[in-house]
């Protein structure tokens, strides 16, 4: 039976966090055996905010290295750079013409980003979901890994695809959401009610995949908990402790009940130390592989050039079909 296709990507806006790893990359590594996977560096999406050109180039290469260091095999996955596949912007323009203003006005992420970048509310921010739709539909993706904050974007992708198909006949595959493991939503260490974000201004709120062991220990030691001093899972009244339990549970493959039993009668000090050491141990081999890769730019280039070639072949077939159906001459 033919493998189903999965498409996902991460913006090249800085180092990945532990949340990115446990919430996305960790699942991607498991998917590569079962699915036909396309993983892109979403560099075009980063342009909705102002970037330093050199930093953007550096972030892109580092992200490819982190993908591979985290366990994505370039032989089993298509790892490519979004801007190296012109069909993304070609299809995005076409889909813009089949997307309604009212649909884009309802996107909550636009409102959120616009409030954070009030001095740069550009049209790219507004039409961001259309480019995301093009990303997904170009590869006939069956499944798209999404968190709650991206579910709206997948829904508008489905609506656009169904609208186009109803006019021109079956062209796009209608994608479904791939939901990762429960508990993979990692929150901030200083603000455990908000998702851990690489753009968080407080460095103590996030664990970066390239943080030193000492930095990791320091950040977990200062992680927000509560005054009960009891390791018990309760997202509502104990968000900080519950978040740490979620991290520990994923890494150690333990249930919340098993963690509660393991740390029964112990204070938060011992628990935080155990979580920190589990994270240090998990990230150490990733960091070793990353450091070797980042010192070998030719190897990184070889990886993305191979992925770019495969992605272009797939995407070009789809864009040709779309152009023909809408009446653009060859």
Look at residue 123 in the predicted model and tell me its pLDDT: 82
Is 184 within the bounds of a domain? no
Is 82 within the bounds of a domain? yes
Residue partners of 37: CB distance under 8 A and separation at least 6: 5, 6, 7, 8, 28, 31, 76, 77, 78
Work out how many domains the chain is built from and give that number. Answer: 2
| SS3 labels along the chain | CCCCEEEEEECCCCCCEHHHHHHHHHHHHHHCCCCEEEEEECCCHHHHCCCCHHHHHHHHHHHHHHHHHCCCCCCCEEEEEHHHCCHHHHHHHHHHCCCCHHHHHCCHHHHHHHHHCCCCCCHHHHHHHHHHHHHHHCCCCCEEECCHHHHHHHHHHHHHHHHHHHHHCCCCCCCEEECCCCCCCCECCCCCCCECCCCCCCHHHCCECCCCHHHHHHHHHCCCCCCCCCCCCCCCCCHHHHHHHHHHHHHHCCCHHHHHHHCCCCCHHHHHHHHHHHHHHHHHHHHHHHHHHHCCHHHHHHHHHHHHHHHHHHHHHHHHHHHHHHCCCC
Is 187 within the bounds of a domain? no
| Same domain for 161 and 82 | yes
pLDDT tens digits for the chain (330 residues)? 788 999 999 888 778 899 989 988 888 888 888 899 999 999 999 988 788 899 999 999 999 999 999 999 999 999 999 999 999 999 999 999 999 988 888 877 666 666 666 676 778 788 889 999 999 999 999 999 876 667 788 999 999 999 999 999 999 999 998 876 544 679 999 999 998 988 788 999 999 999 999 999 999 999 999 888 899 999 889 999 999 999 999 999 999 999 999 999 888 999 999 999 999 999 999 999 999 999 999 999 999 999 999 999 999 999 999 999 999 998
| Same domain for 265 and 159 | no
| Same domain for 304 and 279 | no
CATH of the domain at 219: 1.10.240.10
Degrees, nearest 5: CA angle 28-29-34 = 80
Is 150 within the bounds of a domain? yes
Is 34 within the bounds of a domain? yes
CATH of the domain at 135: 3.40.50.620
| Same domain for 132 and 32 | yes
| Same domain for 278 and 309 | no
Look at residue 56 in the predicted model and tell me its pLDDT: 92
Look at residue 60 in the predicted model and tell me its pLDDT: 94
What residues make up the domain containing 226? 203-291
| Same domain for 227 and 143 | no
| Same domain for 234 and 147 | no
Q: Give CA–CA dist 208/211, Å, rounded.
A: 5
Is 197 within the bounds of a domain? no
| Same domain for 153 and 251 | no
| Same domain for 156 and 303 | yes
| Same domain for 232 and 93 | no
| Same domain for 59 and 208 | no
| Same domain for 148 and 39 | yes
Look at residue 183 in the predicted model and tell me its pLDDT: 42
Is 193 within the bounds of a domain? no
Is 190 within the bounds of a domain? no
**Active site residues per annotation:** 113, 195, 198
């Amino acid at each position: 039976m033919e493998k189903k296709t999965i498409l996902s990507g991460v913006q090249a806006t800085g180092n990945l966090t532990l949340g990115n790893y446990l919430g996305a990359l960790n699942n991607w590594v498991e998917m590569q055996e079962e699915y036909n996977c396309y993983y892109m560096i979403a560099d075009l999406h980063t342009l909705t905010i102002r970037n330093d050109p050199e930093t953007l180039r550096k972030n892109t290469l580092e992200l490819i290295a982190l993908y591979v260091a985290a366990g994505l095999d370039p032989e089993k996955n298509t790892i490519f750079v979004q801007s190296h596949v012109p069909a993304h912007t070609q299809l995005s323009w076409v889909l813009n013409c089949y997307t309604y203003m009212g649909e884009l006005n309802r996107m909550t992420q636009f409102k959120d980003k616009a409030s954070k970048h009030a001095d740069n509310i550009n049209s790219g921010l507004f039409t961001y979901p259309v480019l995301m739709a093009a990303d997904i539909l170009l590869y006939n993706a069956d499944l798209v890994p999404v968190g709650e904050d991206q579910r709206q974007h997948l829904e508008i992708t489905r609506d656009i695809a169904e609208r186009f198909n109803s006019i021109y006949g079956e062209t796009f595959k209608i994608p479904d959401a791939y939901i990762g493991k429960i508990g993979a939503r990692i929150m901030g260490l200083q603000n455990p009610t908000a998702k851990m974000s690489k753009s968080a201004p407080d460095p103590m709120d996030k664990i970066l995949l390239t943080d030193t062991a000492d930095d990791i220990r320091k950040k977990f030691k200062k992680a927000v908990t509560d005054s009960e001093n009891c390791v018990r899972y309760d997202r509502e009244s104990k968000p900080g402790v519950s978040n740490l339990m979620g991290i520990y549970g994923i890494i150690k493959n333990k249930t919340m009940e098993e963690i509660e039993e393991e740390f029964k009668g112990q204070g938060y000090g011992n628990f935080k130390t155990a979580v920190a050491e589990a994270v240090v141990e998990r990230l150490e081999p990733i960091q070793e592989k990353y450091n070797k890769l980042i010192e070998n730019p030719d190897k990184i280039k070889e990886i993305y050039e191979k992925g770019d070639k495969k992605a272009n072949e797939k995407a070009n077939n789809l864009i040709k079909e779309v152009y023909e159906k809408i009446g653009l001459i060859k």
